[in-house]
Structure 1
Amino acid sequence: MTFRVVARFVLATALGAIGAAHLGPLRRGFRIVVPDWATRMLRTDKDTIVVASGVVEIMLAAALLFLPGERRRVGLAIAGLFVAVWPGNIHQWRTGRDAPGLDTDRKRFIRILLQPILIVWALWSTRR
C-alpha cells in the first residue's frame, strides 16, 4: 500500500467523521463558523448549512472509498468543498468565537493556515 493510498483513506475517514460530527452533538458548535452573509446568500439558516455540509462531507468520503474510477473528480470536489468552507474559518477567527476544538485565537488561526494543506492533500491523494 502506497503513502498516497493511505493518505486518501485517512482523508476519507476524517471527512466521514467530521461530517458525522456536523449531524451529531457538535452540530450546535459548528453553527458558529457559518457567517451571516452565507445564510443571506443561500436563503437558509445556519443549522441547515451545517447539516448540508455534513451530509456532503459524508457523501464525498463514501465516494472516495467506493468509487475508485471517479477518484480524480471526487478529489476536485473535496478540494472545492475545502475552498468553500474557508471563509467560515476566517469568519470564526475574526469574530473570536469558539467552536469544537477551536477555543483560542491561535487554534483558529492555525485552522485557517491548515486549509491550503487540506486542499493540496485532497488533490494530491486523488491524483492517478
Structure 2
Amino acid sequence: MQLSLLQHAARWLLGIFLLLAGIGHLTWARAEFQAQVPRWLPLEADLVVLLSGFVEIGLGLALLLLKSRRQQVGWAAALFFLLIFPGNISQYINKVDAFGLNSDTTRLIRLFFQPVLMVWALWCTGALTVRKKQLAD
C-alpha cells in the first residue's frame, strides 16, 4: 500500500516523538513519567517507566525503519497509547502535577489527545485504510 507524502511526514514525526519520549523515560524526564504511573498498578513506578521507555524507543524506531511491517507497527503503537491511557486518567483523578499539567483543566484536556495519538498511529501507517478495505471486501 502506498502512503501519501503527508502520511510519511506524520509517521516520521510520530516516530521521532516516540523515540524522544522513550529516551526521556530513561533519562531527563524519568521522575515526571513516574508521577503518571497509576497508584493501583502492582509494579514499581520506576520499572514501569523504564519498560515503557524501551517500548516507546522500539516503536519509534519501528515507525521510522520498518517499511514491510508498517501497518502492524501502527496497530502496536495504537495499542500502546491505549495501554498507557489509564496513567493519564490517574494523573487527572489524583491531581498529579507533571509535565506542566498543573491544573484540572490541563490534565483533562490532555485526556482528549490520547485517542488522537491512536488514530494518528493508525492513519500514518496506512493501517486504517487497510482495515477499511478488509471490512469492505
- Map residues 99-110 of structure 1 onto 2, 5 A cutoff: 99-110=98-109
Partners of 1:73 and 1:45 lie apart in 2 by 30
- The alpha carbon displacement at 1:85 in A equals 0.4
Unmatched runs of 5 consecutive residues or more in structure 2: 131-137
1:48-100 per-residue CA deviation (whole Å, 9 max, x = no partner) reads 00011011000110011111101000000000000000010000001111112
- Map residues 62-101 of structure 1 onto 2, 5 A cutoff: 62-101=61-100
Of Structure 1 and Structure 2, the greater helix share is in: 1
The TM-score with structure 1 as length reference comes to 0.92
Which residue of 2 is the match for residue 117 of structure 1? 116
- The alpha carbon displacement at 1:124 in A equals 0.5
Partners of 1:16 and 1:103 lie apart in 2 by 25
- The alpha carbon displacement at 1:37 in A equals 1.9
Which residue of 1 is the match for residue 27 of structure 2? 24
Which structure has the greater CA radius of gyration? 2
Partners of 1:99 and 1:24 lie apart in 2 by 15
> 3-state DSSP class of the match of 1:11?
helix
Residue 13 of structure 2 is aligned to residue 10 of structure 1: yes
- The alpha carbon displacement at 1:104 in A equals 2.0
Which residue of 2 is the match for residue 59 of structure 1? 58
Unmatched runs of 5 consecutive residues or more in structure 1: none
Larger mean Cα displacement after TM superposition, 1-10 or 54-63: 1-10
Which residue of 1 is the match for residue 135 of structure 2? none
Percent identity over the alignment?
42
Which residue of 1 is the match for residue 133 of structure 2? none
Runs of 4+ in 1 over 3 A off after TM superposition: none
- The alpha carbon displacement at 1:36 in A equals 1.9
- The alpha carbon displacement at 1:103 in A equals 2.1
> 3-state DSSP class of the match of 1:15?
helix
Partners of 2:102 and 2:19 lie apart in 1 by 23
